[in-house]
């Protein structure tokens, strides 16, 4: 029988920490905890977890100080970290991403189910092997998205899952990369500077080069009206995801279903 995956929860709010720990243990993980950054670093060295859930605002040593220490340590830096953000502010998330975190949770939007989904997606779960096997073929994903935070999060998630990723911040750059690189799949925002996503999708699907017109396109947008979804489908989108109700894990799973079937 294989050893249980180990998770370290570094969180100073005991009620939240207890809720996360209880959920993780029910799922079958081995869990330890720490209530400040200093204790958390010590337990990372001793407990050797497979993953760390790390709060940002803590006494003694805060989450950023923990990440900076981990980032400089050859062994500790191998341990994936999901941060628990108090505010979810883009500047906070971007700083954490630069320090190597894999994903994030926002306390105000705490959902035990989301915690489990994110953990399983990083250190294993029932669908992990199939996804990894598909990704080993180095499928190429193009993300056409002008939101820097979402672009960074999606890029990191796909790279961690073994995909090759290119990005574009507008339709013009996206179409150039589609023509030159012919990616296996395109993630396309609708609200872009210059040409919008619908026009871009129409150009892709009407391209005389069948290799380009056949590229599956997933729309990822803030526009969630029925008319928008219907228009995307009519123009040939493989799927339509609404940003506000879709996690990066769900985006990856959608891509896997299309490319790894």
Within 8 A by CB and 6+ apart from 180, the residues are: none
The domain locations on the chain are 6-125, 129-259
pLDDT computed for residue 249 by the predictor: 83
Rg (CA), the chain: 20
- Tokens 């079958």 correspond to 28
pLDDT at 126 > cutoff 70:
no
Per-residue pLDDT tens over the stretch 71-103: 999 889 989 999 998 878 888 888 998 898 988
Residue of 13, 16, 19 whose CA lies nearest to 35: 13
Give the pLDDT mean for 156-164.
84
Q: What pTM value is reported for the model?
A: 0.54
Give the pLDDT mean for 223-251.
90
Instruction: Label residue 19 exposed, middle or buried (CB < 10 Å: 0-12, 13-18, 19+).
Output: middle
Give the pLDDT mean for 103-129.
76
pLDDT computed for residue 137 by the predictor: 52
CATH class of 129-259: alpha beta
pLDDT computed for residue 162 by the predictor: 78
pLDDT computed for residue 3 by the predictor: 63
pLDDT at 250 > cutoff 80:
yes
More confident residue, 228 or 128: 228
Same CATH fold, 129-259 and 6-125? yes
Per-residue pLDDT tens over the stretch 127-156: 344 444 454 456 899 999 999 988 999 998
Task: Looking at the structure, give the CATH architecture of the domain made up of residues 6-125.
Answer: 3-Layer(aba) Sandwich (3.40)
């Amino acid at each position: 029988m294989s050893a249980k995956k180990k998770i370290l929860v570094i969180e100073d709010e005991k009620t939240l920490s207890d809720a996360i720990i209880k959920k993780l243990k029910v799922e079958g993980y081995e869990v330890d905890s720490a209530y400040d950054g200093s204790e958390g670093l010590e337990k990372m060295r001793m407990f050797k977890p497979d993953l760390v859930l790390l709060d940002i605002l803590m006494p003694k040593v805060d989450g950023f100080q923990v990440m900076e220490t981990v980032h400089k340590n050859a062994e500790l830096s191998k341990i994936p970290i999901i941060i628990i953000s108090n505010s979810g502010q883009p500047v906070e998330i971007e700083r954490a991403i630069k320090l190597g975190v894999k994903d994030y949770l926002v306390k105000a939007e705490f959902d035990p189910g989301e915690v489990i989904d994110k953990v399983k997606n990083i250190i294993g779960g029932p669908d992990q092997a199939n996804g990894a096997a598909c990704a080993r073929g180095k499928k190429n994903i193009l993300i056409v998205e002008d939101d820097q935070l979402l672009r960074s999060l999606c890029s990191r998630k796909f790279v961690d899952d073994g995909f090759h990723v290119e990005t574009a911040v507008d339709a013009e750059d996206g179409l150039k990369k589609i023509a030159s690189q012919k990616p296996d799949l395109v993630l396309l925002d609708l609200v872009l500077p210059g040409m919008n996503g619908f026009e871009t999708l129409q150009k892709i699907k009407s391209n005389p080069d069948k290799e380009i017109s056949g590229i599956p396109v997933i729309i990822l947008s803030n526009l969630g009206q029925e008319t928008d979804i219907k228009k995307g489908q009519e123009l040939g989108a493989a799927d339509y995801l609404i940003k506000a109700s879709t996690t990066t894990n769900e985006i990856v799973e959608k891509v896997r279903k299309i490319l790894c079937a």
